Amino acid sequence: MVDFGSFSSLTDPVNLLLLSVCAFLLYKIFSGSSEPEQKKEPELEKVEGDMTVKQLLAYDGKDTSKPVLLALCGKIYNVTRGKSFYGPGGPYEILAGHDATRALGLMSTDPKDVKDVDDDLSDLTPSQLASARDWQQSFEFKYDFVGKLVKETAQQQQQEEEEKVEKATPEEEEAASTATQDTPSSES
């Protein structure tokens, strides 16, 4: 006859622990997932390539179909994974969609330190520029590189003006043509 041990061996703390773990695992396997489904993030527009400051403004996190981008030391980074910091409501939301070099070099979130145009950084001290470069090194490890921040050329500005004219409403076109007709001619 085989002796399976006494009843007291089942009440041994180690055996009770193992029995509890087995019961829990069986419960999880057969009960299905009781965890709520995680919200799936919407598919974001893929962005790669160089941009001007004006083009970068569209990626400030307010349009949820677009990634959150910011530029630093001439490079553009996709900071969407840090949108709790850089997106709407975040402590650094002012930097999203902008060249953040000046602000991060000055360690500032003051709107006057965030420009919507090409920024000349010649007034920053060497230590402020070094601070911006330190931030850039951190960004290179944390965030994906998108492209370079490029200066807007006169040709790009002219194209934008032409596009505005093409998209003008009939009322705007009439007002523009009336204004040019009212202008005195230089011919004599």
Which of residues 103 and 40 earns the better pLDDT score?
A: 103
111 pLDDT more than 60: yes
Pick 188 or 17 by higher pLDDT.
17
- Per the DSSP assignment, residues forming a β-bridge with 120 are none
Residue type, 152: E
pLDDT: which is higher, 160 or 109: 109
Give the integer Cα–Cα distance in Å for 51 and 147: 7
Q: What is the pLDDT of residues 119-138, one digit of tens each?
A: 889 999 999 999 999 999 99
The rounded mean pLDDT for the chain is 81
Average pLDDT estimate for 167-173:
64
Q: If you average pLDDT over residues 15-43, what whole number do you get?
A: 68
Tokens 């001439």 label which residue?
74
The pLDDT confidence band at residue 4, using thresholds 50, 70 and 90, is: low
Indicate the range of 14-28, 98-112, 129-143 predicted with least confidence.
14-28
Q: Which residues contact 120 (CB under 8 A, 6 or more apart)?
A: none
Q: Is the pLDDT of residue 152 over 70?
A: yes
Q: Are 99 and 71 in contact (CB under 8 A)?
A: yes
